[in-house]
Structure 1
Amino acid sequence: MTVRFNGEILQFTIVWNSVGQHWYANILDVSTGQWIAQYMPLVVGIPLGQRLGRAWVLLLLDASAAFLDPMSVDDMGKRCVLAIDTLESVLATIAAELGQ
Structure 2
Amino acid sequence: MKTVSIINLKGGVAKTLTTVSMAYALSQQYNARVLVVDNDKQGNCSKTFGVHSYDRQSIADLMLDRDADLGEVIQHTKYDRIDVIPANMTLLTANMQVMMDS
Structure with more contact order per residue of length (Cα contacts < 8 Å, sep ≥ 6): 2
**Alignment TM class, shorter chain as reference:** under 0.3
TM-score under structure 1 length normalisation: 0.28
Please, what TM-score do these two structures have when normalized by structure 2?
Answer: 0.28
* Higher relative helix content: 2
Q: Which has the higher strand share?
A: 1
